Chain A
Amino acid sequence: MTANPFPQGVAPFGRTPAPSLTAPILSEAFGLRPLDGAVIGFVRAALPLGQVLWAQDRLSRIEHGAPFLPGMGRALIRLDLTRPADVLSALEDGLQSHALAAVVGEIHGAPNALNFTASRRLALRAERGGLPCWLIRHAAPAADASAARMRWRIGALPSAIDPDDPQAPGDPRWRAELFRARGTPPSIWEGRHDRAADRLDLVAWTGDRELAAQADRGVA
């Protein structure tokens, strides 16, 4: 008999609890398509308040653009670097500082510098330094080995209805798939970002929206 009535990772009604996004660990977030801002929006919504070190390599800056302050609305210190290896060493430096709230790095593709050892160094530094560290991966195969404690795959969903204008895109929604995590089983979530309150809600995935919509139509 254990004190906890539920085994780890299983909440009442058979649902896993929503993972904490601000824990001081290394997390990886994979973008699925070019021009998809979902992964950036997800990481931005998960960042705690305070100074954030944001490092980019050259290819992600060219292909996916640079953070835009009026849209981000966060205190950023930007590092425009060239090589992925530079991004990794800058992240390591940032994780040793107590003046930051979080550290974010963006890497395009699957460079040799980002191997299992490099990610393990980052994960250990993040845990020792007590800072959340996010690694945003653009155009990368998700199959490579990594020591990240949480690995997300983020894609955009059609946005919520704007209450004022049904024709306009409303609050963003994302499909967030936690495909590897330490201590919790893999799970799929629907992320809803409330822009007015700047709050990210993770709701358990209810299934295939397209099919559900079609089924509804069939019944009607």
Chain B
Amino acid sequence: MPGLAIENWQRKQTVAWPDDVPLALAAPGPHGPVIHGLNRAAALAGARSGARVTDMRAVCPTLRIEDADLPGDAACLARLAFWCRRWGPWSAPDRADGLLIDTTGADHLFGGEDAMLADMQGRLARAGLTAALAIAPTRGAAWALARFGAGRVICHDLQSDLAPLPVAGLRLDGPTLLLMRRLGLKTIGDLAAIPRLSLMRRFARADLPENPLLRLDQMLGHLAEPLDAPDPAPRFMAQTRLAEPVMDPTDWLPQLIADLCTQLAAKAQGCRRLRLSIFRVDGERRDTHLRIASPSREAAHLLRLFQGKLDGLDPGFGFDLLQLTAEAVEALPDAQPDLDARSEGLELARLIDRLTARFGAAAIHRPEAVESHIPERSETPAPPLGQTPVPDARPDRPLRLLTPPEEIRVLYAIPEGPPAQFSWRRQTLRVARYAGPERIAPEWWRDRPGTRLRDYFRVEDPSGLRLWIYREGLVHDGRGGTPRWFLHGIFA
């Protein structure tokens, strides 16, 4: 897949990138960033993959550079490898931009090798990926033909098909390719014509990526090169078939959960997402989903999370099949419990699970401090299981923040100070003592132009109410009319 990086990048954008603007993705290299992928316009403008970004900027001044997402591309390729099992039982990602599929004996299912390649190309194109494809008896030959052959290639005779290809098709590393070029060996045919004995003498101690003889043997099938296909993620599922349709799944749930937990324990896994499906007699399916904060295979805990979740499950005229599936699992090795048989981290995760299952993930959060002087931006909701240090309480910050700030009406204004008297919700408050102003300027890199600064005052009324009020803007700052006053916080 020659364009995997750039196509992946384009799939992630919300707005399609125009075809005529040159775009390149940069990856970190040993001497500064290098081009990792480029679009068609950039290739036409003279940019090359693998060259340094600064050089390519000189070649094509209008080139736009974005960062390549190498781990994201690798993850995408790993997912594609499993998706490609539709054409053959064994498949694996190959380096950064290739896929290997062992289609031995599978081509007749698709109507021959040619039809199978067309099917592959069509389906990948529908997913937004261009692919160069080749079928060959050996892995090395397919690698070379896919990259240096003409489009869709089916290899019938190894010797004659591979002979015109360049030596770069041998999967050799850079210094060895340079050596080949200096020796005047341009094609695989040239290399194969050299007597085997002299090649062996020259490259006797070389490793596989720098040994053209071994690579040639692999390509021609003299040396075995098995495909190391990864196993798909195991699927954990428990189900119960009922003789008669029933309306309430509660009685069957403990057995299902115990069954699933046994399966998970056998593979040392814990589930993060659970789905309970009921299959109704009228041919419909209803699902309930659960999310778990930290991987778990504790039957009692999982059972408790389902409490109250089953009421919303509409059983219709009853159901006769119950299925409990672990949709996401994570490795969870057996751990020794503490001496008092409980651990604080686990306890907190269990509590978060129960609260999330009952009130939803949006209701629960842990406030986290952020570097910002704007009060409403100085804290942000974070996931409740994180570990960040809590800042010390500041005496000049209120305990309570009103969102949004409530406007107050100034009755007696004093220049350069807080109002002597103001009304909030028809209640008149007099300022006995105050501290301030504390001026907080807008963050020009985030706020809209024209945002006004704020002057904060800590004020106290004669009865002891301590409040945080601010004036938005100055009188002649040219960003609006008379400044307005707001109540923003409440002190202890």
Contacts and interface: CB of A to CB of B under 8 A. Distances in A.
A70 B378 contact: yes
B271 to A, nearest CB: 21
Contacts of B398: 37, 68, 71
Contacts of B366: 75-78
A110 interface: no
13 contacts: A41-B491, A69-B379, A70-B375, A71-B400, A77-B352, A78-B365, A78-B367, A97-B347, A98-B344, A157-B464, A167-B433, A169-B433, A172-B466
Given A70-B391, A77-B364, A37 B492 contact: yes
Contacts of B369: 69-70
- Max chain A C-beta neighbours (<10 A), residue from B347, B359, B458: B359
A130 B424 CA distance: 42
Contacts of A174: 492
B464 A97 contact: no
Given A73-B392, A76-B366, A93 B355 contact: yes
A99 B363 contact: no
- Max chain B C-beta neighbours (<10 A), residue from A51, A79, A96, A97: A97
Contact of A40 (B381, B394, B399, B432): B399
Interface string A151-175: 0000111110010010111001110
Given A40-B399, A97-B347, 4 more contacts: A53-B351, A158-B464, A173-B464, A193-B492
Contacts of A35: 424, 465, 467, 487, 490
A94 B403 CA distance: 26
Given A37-B398, A156-B464, A167 B434 contact: yes
B348 A51 contact: yes
Interface of B: 342, 344-345, 347-348, 350-352, 354-355, 358-359, 363-369, 375, 378-379, 381, 384, 390-395, 397-403, 424-425, 427, 432-435, 458-460, 462-467, 487, 489-492
Interface residues of A, number: 58
Nearest to B466: A169
B394 to A, nearest CB: 5
Contacts of A45: 492
A35 to B, nearest CB: 5
A149 interface: no
Contact of A79 (B364, B390, B391): B364
A159 B399 CA distance: 16
Contacts of B402: 65
A196 B490 CA distance: 19
A97 B492 contact: no
Contacts of B364: 77-80
Given A33-B465, A156-B466, A169-B433, A76 B490 contact: no
A100 interface: yes
Nearest to B458: A169
A40 B399 CA distance: 7
Interface in A162-201: 162, 165, 167-169, 172-174, 193, 195-196, 198
Contact of B491 (A53, A97, A169): A169
Given A90-B359, A100-B351, A193-B492, A77 B384 contact: yes
Contacts of B467: 35
Contacts of B394: 70-71, 73
A205 to B, nearest CB: 15
**Ordered nearest first, which 8 A-B pairs have the shortest CB separation?**
A41-B492, A73-B393, A168-B435, A156-B464, A65-B400, A99-B348, A99-B347, A71-B397
B460 to A, nearest CB: 4
Contact of A65 (B401, B424, B462, B465): B401
A159 B466 contact: yes
A96 B364 CA distance: 17
Nearest to B390: A75
Contacts of B378: 69-70
B365 to A, nearest CB: 6
B463 A68 contact: no
A121 interface: no
A169 B403 contact: no
Contacts of A198: 393
A45 B492 CA distance: 10
Interface string A31-60: 001111110111011000001010000000
Contact of A80 (B363, B379, B397, B464): B363
A64 interface: yes
Nearest to A64: B400
A86 B491 CA distance: 27
A66 B403 contact: yes
A79 B360 CA distance: 10
A74 interface: yes
A69 to B, nearest CB: 4
A89 interface: yes
Contacts of A38: 464, 492
A72 interface: yes
Nearest to A198: B393
A62 B435 CA distance: 26
Contacts of A168: 433-435, 458
A68 B401 contact: yes
- Max chain A C-beta neighbours (<10 A), residue from B375, B463, B466: B466
A68 B489 contact: yes
A65 B394 CA distance: 18
Nearest to B462: A158
B351 A97 contact: yes
B401 A79 contact: no
Contacts of B392: 73
A53 B492 CA distance: 19
Contacts of B460: 158-159, 169
A209 to B, nearest CB: 11
Nearest to B369: A69
Nearest to A61: B403
A45 B365 CA distance: 22
A100 B432 CA distance: 40
A158 B365 CA distance: 34
B354 A93 contact: yes
Contacts of B489: 65, 68, 71
Contacts of B395: 195-196
A45 B491 CA distance: 13
